[in-house]
Structure 1
Amino acid sequence: MSESATAAGRVSRPGRAGRAPALLCAVAALTAALALLPLPVSAPLLAAQLLAFAALAVKLRERRRQGRRADRGVWPALVAAAALAITAEVGGSAHRGALPVSLTMTAAFLLVSHSQLQLLRQRVRSLAGAARLDIAASTTSASAIAVALLMPRLQESTDLPAGAVLALLVAAVAGVAVLLQATACAVLTARAPDRRILLVGGGALLLLVPDAVDVHLLATGPGAVLPTAVHGAATALALAAWAVASRMPRPAPAPRLDESAGAVAIGPALIVPLCLALLWWDHVRALPTQAVALALATLVLLSLKATTVVHRLAQLNSTRRQALTDPLTHLGNRRALTARLHELEGGDEPFSLSLVDLDGFREVNDTLGHEAGDELLRQVAARLREGCGADDLVVRQGGDEFALLSPGSTLEAATERAQRLHDLLRVPYLLEGKRVHVGGSLGVTASPGRGPVADVLLRQADAALHAAQAGGGGAVAYSAELDEARQRAAETVAQLLDAVGSPRRRGGPGPGGRIVAHYQPQMDPLTGAVVGAEALVRWEHPTRGVLAPFHFLAAAEEHGLMPALTELMLEDALTRVKQWRELGCDRISVNVSATCLRDDRLVATVRAGLLRHGVPASSLVLEITETEIIEDLATSKRVLAELVELGVGVSIDDYGTGYSSLAHLRDLPVEELKLDRSFTAELVTDARTRAIVRTTVDMAHSLGLRLVAEGVEDARTLEVLRLLGVDQTQGYFHSRPVPPAELSAWLRENAAARPRVH
């Protein structure tokens, strides 16, 4: 049966859930009304109440599987305590002060105490362990005092043996202790009262009444004991048992340890002097042996409690250290940094905060493995500790990020130290027998030492760290200009997000403008005919005009917008090439970033676009730099192979710069090389450049590759490229990048007369 069906079954029988407590209340009320009758008349009613408790125990046993495991030992103890109380009352009515009666009441009190502590454990877990020893020590110490003061008098006024008197006193003192415990439980749960605990406390109070009266009557003379208190106590305990097994409210959150730590020392501070006073008094005036034994037992119990508390505090201290320590480097962690920041911000002393981020850590992980990366972090931690003072806190925040907190340090001193640490971090590391170079970026800020500034300092240090990373590493101190720059960057990102989504939005561009494609034609240098065009991304910003890629591509890469930008460019390029094929522009080139090249969705996106526009795959060329390819060579080869299988062309952009390898030309499925503009710029004036270009042209043709030269700015450069055998040229000499409408008009003019556009 499903849980929902089971729950529905329980809800559909509300009447049965209330029968047992209703019956119990009726029996208890009848018993209480007739409790003043003589024993021969009330005895059957006492038996009836015992039978009611037995029936309750059976009923609760049926419901025990519904409760929490922690509750299952509570309700049997409460029912047993109620039954023991009634049994003691039956026996006490005929034999007041008898040893079995006192022992029975003591057992009832112990069961009540156990139930209270079990319920308390659900609410205040930090107190439940020591509370048992506190109750035991309080009971034995109070019993020792009671025995010392009352036992001689009771022995003189009654003919009870010493054992019975002792048991009677212990039972009474146990009742007092349980009542005090009940009061403490009620206080600790006062913010969210628990009816179960209140019912148990009421039962404890009512159980104490007949015991106290018995002691008083035995000491002063005959009298009448009201059994109504026992009946009421039994009823309260039984109702508490029913509440535990039936309702089981969810415990409230436990209080923090420091809110209840004073309770650890209150008990010993009060009890130890009393026990020592009793032992001293025994030397002055002989006390009953039982009183001395109980006092000594109390000291033993308090010694056990002290041992327990010391062990507990040691565990808490160890747990706290673990919670504030990074397990890999044994530095502090983010929690330790936050705690120390809040400590320092309350004082008047200035302090500085520096954030450290490693440069090149990812490459170490990727090439040497995570074990080498962990060892690198440990060595970095050692160097940071070495470069900081004894009062400084060095923490690892996570990954390859560290933080330094220096009390008494100004911004100038912290910046100088950060520069020294930067130089220290650049010293090569020895990992698996290899020398590894890793740098670091540091952002530094300082507090004047007034007011709550923890969050502000973290934000300022983070802004300085980003500035250091943007500058290629080093140490940067915070200034207000950095916040302004970050705010502008955040606004730019928000506008860029809006612009990327503008083509999908009806009603035109939003507040961020829109992303568009401009096109630059590619020409045959021999005939002057257009053979293709390159799509170049532009951002039509609402206030800054048309922005070139270097204004926003870094932000797009950082915030994961490159796939969306690439998809926009592909969609526009495939739309245009379908229109321009009849004008001689048979091929469109689109740039693809390393992020997109590692994205398995790229091939599917290209395939879907080709099918949607009905354009042959040979009309699309994807331009990728060689540096981007080697970032993940295996994935790049697989994705490029799938693109070539579709029929799409692949071009290596900016060839001759960055990381170039003949092996990649042999292994990668490329059809075109685009010579970087740095070679065409000096082609006319530098003979070595011409030799490099000639060699590159010959190599490309030998491999069956097409060579395209970018950055053609004048007729002399075009003529040299033509003589060197370059296949295609591209640059401002032919046309600047223009919107699609302008290129359409230009293509029509070129198709008619093939003029050169300056």
Structure 2
Amino acid sequence: MTRPPAGAAPVSRCLRGLRGPAGWWQAPVVATPRLMSIVAGTCYIAASIVATVIALLEDSGAHVAGELVLGLASVGVGLLVGRLGRRWPRWAFHLFIGSAIGSVTLLVAVSGDEAYATIYPLASLFTMFFFSWPIGMLYQVVIAAALIVGRTVWDAVPTGVVVALIGTNAVVAVIIGWLVREATEAEADTLTGLANRRGLQRALDNAVEAARREGTPVSVAFLDLDNFRRVNEILGNDQGDRLLRLTGQAWRSILPPGAVLARSGGDEFGLVLPGVTASEGAAIVDALRATLPDDQTTSAGIAEWRVGDSASLLLGRADNALQQAKIAGRARTFVDVHSGAQNREMVDALPAGEFVVVYQPIVDLPTGAVIGAEALLRWTHPERGSIPPVEFIPLAEESGFILDLGRWVLQVACQEARDWDFTENPRISVNVSGRQLHDPNFVPDVRRILADTGLPPTRLVLEVTESMLEADAPVALAALETLRAEGVRIAIDDFGTGYSSLSRLDRLPVDILKIDRAFVTTLTPDTGVAPVITAIVALANALGMSTVAEGIEEPFQAAALIAHGCGAGQGWLYGRPGPAAQLAELAAVPPAAVAAECPQLAPARF
């Protein structure tokens, strides 16, 4: 097989960047109505300033006053577009681009001054930002034709200026088009040309911000193609991809102005509906579902923003509504109508200071020295008292509030752990949920928190459950692999209670196996051998991992674990969860080693 010539890869990459993931025929995904209105308004105002300055510098001429009025009027148009343009359909911007080119051409013809022709590059800028390559380049032809007419018909633009401006417009068009499509690569789904999960998040952040500022509604919906896996299995992946593309195109064509449709992953689509209530959004979603063939159904869930909701919380409620639609039998739209009383209490509890982070020491089993701690969350309600995590964590997961809560726990834990000095490089373990791992902002959040707090990445351990590392969780694995490459350590919590394939364990981004308390509690003073613990420790050693045992309450349990080669542990024997100050006190006076507690214990055989 012949290799491409040197330089071919950069050239092909450049061409792909020009084309964009959605193809030549589609507008950039990042050109949202909000950004289009801002860019168009800014260009109008900039052009009016240039025209006004040129008019004021004219020595004489009967048309100076008219040129000045036209320039100043463009300021008003720019402000109007910037303020209201986000509510207009994309085609409406053709009117403003056409009128802008026509106005500049009229100024050149009436005044006979080629200086006004320098405004044309601004039109090139926003045509390439707004529209697909063919339409954008068509506008470049129109601008070039206007310059040529100005030279040949009115003799208002010198030949040198015509050549220079045509070249400048071409350069501006290519550079802007390439930059916009490079930005699109990060927020566009390469298969459908729609926004991806990151683009959906950004659109929702903007919509929620506008809802807070203006008091307008905003709704979010998730739509899932029912039994899509069977389409791939029976007809093949190519037909499955074709169905996704056609679905995205059909839905996009009938959405109201301002709506953002995204492929959030697999066969799931996300929809942001600014200015739309949940009931109105349900009608829109049902219209989308009705466009599909009779043999292809769709489940959908929709939720409306409520005052105080974060974008992640809103996404969580919409996703929960989708799951409810699936549970109810699929092929339906489920609207989130949960009163949210307890959820509201939980959301309000965070700024009210009702949540606290406590720390349970992790010790080196042979010596009993404290080498780190696990951060645990506690909620004390002013009326109901202590609320157990088993009650509020599932609610936070279901609602999506776990994203905000998990981010806060990580921030607090890293901040406090930074100042620990009771041992060399004490580590802090923080539990991470599946929702966090699938959040596109998770990795940037971890990086930011580490940078803000000054905690070295090597001192942070992220604990995840086995179920998060299943084969169908590529997003979660990618997040963990990225952070692990930067020094963060990964632990599998409650190892041995899930269903992970051992054949995959050596390929997973894991450094620590945590032995579940269920295996530790089976140890007794008469235990001679613990096969499961022996197997886990041997497996960890073979894969270059370390082990931490949970739920150690008795000295004989610690002795048994030491005899079986487990290196570290935690439990009430070494200290209950408490504030950081208590952790420092425990570290100052570590418990005595317990290796001799059970002399009859048989040594482990590996």
Band the TM-score falls in, shorter-chain normalisation: 0.3 to 0.5
Select the structure with the greater relative contact order (CA < 8 A; seq sep ≥ 6): 2
Higher helix share: 1
> What TM-score comes out, normalization by structure 2 length?
0.44
